[in-house]
Amino acid sequence: MHYYSFHIGDYRSATSHLSNNEDLAYRRLLDMYYDTEKPIPLDTQWVARRIRIDHEVVLNVLSDMFEQREDGFYQDRCEHEIGVYKGFSEAGKRGAAKRWSKGGYSPPITPPIATNNHKPRTNNQQPVNTPEGVSQSVWQEFVNHRKAKKAQVTQLVIDGIQAEANKAGFTLEDALKEIVVRNWQGFKADWVADKQNSSETVYQRSMRLKMQQAVPDIAAKQPTQYEDAVEFFRTIEVPAKQIGESK
């Protein structure tokens, strides 16, 4: 399949949250899907090399925009377009067969082409156990939330959320809570950056910048979602003032 319809409005609304690199990865993954007429392979390292995109970016896009099954990563829109294409192809073959029969000839007989079963195989999928450090109540809320969005909970999805949570200074449980509360399907560190910095005053920011220059080991510590930012700045304000007074 070397052609597929591209609906600009649908694509824009579905990908507005992606970064530039993620958007590029998604376009190349779609091209691979349509060109091979098969789901994206489970060997994500191989996929990343083939589309020439960083492996972590590929993992983020696959967990966010595709559905992992036992034989690959599926995408409903791709499956629909490929089905329509194959329908047209079969109709063309039937039309050719009629033309052959009218002329007294028989069409060439070709062996049938084996196709993969594209139906979900939910019964064979391995369930993901409650991750370490996540309470059962939060985990169940997250699982129900993903089901409501018709998105699966796979180990790849959890690994991607964990990686972004680490970047944001969140625990995995904090990230899962944030997904449910904000009605997100996934989690990106960039999405919570503004929230983390909202409690920092102008004075506190200036003190933090001074500490970054004078004592980077202390200044590297950042207040998390559940750590009062005021308490954090108490730990650095006294030495920061001393630095300011000494100048």
Domain boundaries, the chain: 1-123, 126-194, 199-246
- Tens digits of residue pLDDT in 71-128: 899 988 888 888 787 776 566 666 666 665 665 555 555 555 555 554 444 444 567 8
- Tens digits of residue pLDDT in 183-238: 998 999 888 876 655 555 556 656 666 666 666 555 555 555 445 555 555 655 55
Residue 53 and residue 21 in contact, taking contact as beta carbons nearer than 8 Å: yes
Tell me how far apart the terminal alpha carbons of the chain are, to the nearest angstrom.
69
Q: How many CA atoms lie within 13 A of 4 on its CB side?
A: 22
d(CA 211, CA 236): 7
pTM: predicted TM-score of the whole model, two decimal places: 0.41
